[in-house]
């Protein structure tokens, strides 16, 4: 996805909680993009990052009429990895490396921008021909300083390649990083976890304190932690050092995310970096066309914002 300067941090919008394990609760504001809504959970005033995660958007749920769909024109990124994961629907990715890949529910698209890449995200014509849904999350992961200027890469991991654990009312998929004794094949640059969890009503899932920075975004349903209940559309940021048990009050789906801190990051538009001057250079590079064009989607692009 592409964002506008000034939209990267929402005004404070949080719920109070008595839960001793929860440091803060972020309630993302909805943005109407015409045919669907986006809820931005990160960055927020309450929390800019959780581990290396600097950005988290919920896309939908939406139902597009025939002929309509997502059209995110080519736009640039540096020094981060984009992580696209869908619950419903389909999107099509293209980038300046020549990558051309549909993503479907349960798959993972992991694009590491490194020193610079541009990409587009569209609804393919064959999907657009009929009524179709869209629901999912997109995250940005800040690369550690040692990898910020690495070569850009794109990797697609089908649903079947991602490790799972299930039983006792749980259906859990380790999308990236390591958790619950499982490790995703995704090529990450720092210690992190990104995990899709679905629980039946009454089922529970533990979260150990193996990572200092941990969060949970509730996409559907209602959960309970230590007697406190939390509804969908909430990002919970946990205090470090506690073993937590998450119980589903109703059928629930949520994303667990976090990992080791990579240090503070500067963020402007679609650029993330440990150095302000690097972002200034990226602005000039995009204006000059130095990122290149996206094969198969080279007729238009998102101009650099004026502010």
Q: What angle do CA 30, 137, 281 make, to 5 degrees?
A: 85
Residues in the chain: 307
Q: What is the mean pLDDT of each run of 10 residues along the chain (307 residues)?
A: 58 59 92 80 94 97 95 97 98 98 98 98 97 97 98 98 97 98 98 98 97 97 96 96 96 98 97 98 98 97 91
Residue of 247, 215, 242 lying closest to 141 (CA atoms)? 215
pLDDT score for 20: 87
pLDDT of res. 11:
46
Please tell me the pTM assigned to this model. 0.94
pLDDT at 12: 46
Report the pLDDT value the prediction gives residue 2, as an integer from 0 to 100: 63
> Which positions ≥6 away from 297 have C-beta within 8 Å?
73, 74, 94, 120, 122
Residues 197 and 219: their CA atoms lie apart, in Å, by 10
CA distance 101 to 295: 12
């Amino acid at each position: 996805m592409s964002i506008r300067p000034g939209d990267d941090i929402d005004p404070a919008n949080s719920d109070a909680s008595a839960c001793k394990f929860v440091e803060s609760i972020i309630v993302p504001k909805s943005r109407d993009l015409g045919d669907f809504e986006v809820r931005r959970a990160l960055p927020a005033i309450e929390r800019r990052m959780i581990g290396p995660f600097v950005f988290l958007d919920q896309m939908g749920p939406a139902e597009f009429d025939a002929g309509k769909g997502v059209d995110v024109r080519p736009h640039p990124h540096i020094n981060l990895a984009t992580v696209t994961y869908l619950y419903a629907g389909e999107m099509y990715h293209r980038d300046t490396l020549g990558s051309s890949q549909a993503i479907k529910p349960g798959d993972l698209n992991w694009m590491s921008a490194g020193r610079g890449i541009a990409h587009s995200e569209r609804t393919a014509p064959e999907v657009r021909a009929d009524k179709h849904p869209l629901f999912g999350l997109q995250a940005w992961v800040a690369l550690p300083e040692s990898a910020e200027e690495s070569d850009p890469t794109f990797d697609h991991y089908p649903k079947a390649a991602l490790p799972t654990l299930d039983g006792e009312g749980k259906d859990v998929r380790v999308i990236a990083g390591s958790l619950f004794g499982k490790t995703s094949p995704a090529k990450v640059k720092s210690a992190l976890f990104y995990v899709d969890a679905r629980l039946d009503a009454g089922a529970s899932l533990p979260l150990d304190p193996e990572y200092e920075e941990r969060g949970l975004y509730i996409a559907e349903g209602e959960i309970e932690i230590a007697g406190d209940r939390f509804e969908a559309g909430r990002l919970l940021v946990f205090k470090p050092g506690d073993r937590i048990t998450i119980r589903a009050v109703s059928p629930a789906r949520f994303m667990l995310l976090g990992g080791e801190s990579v240090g503070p990051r500067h963020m402007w538009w679609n650029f993330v970096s440990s150095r302000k001057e690097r972002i200034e250079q990226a602005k000039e590079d995009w204006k000059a066309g130095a990122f290149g064009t996206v094969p198969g989607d080279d007729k238009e692009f998102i101009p650099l914002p004026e502010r």
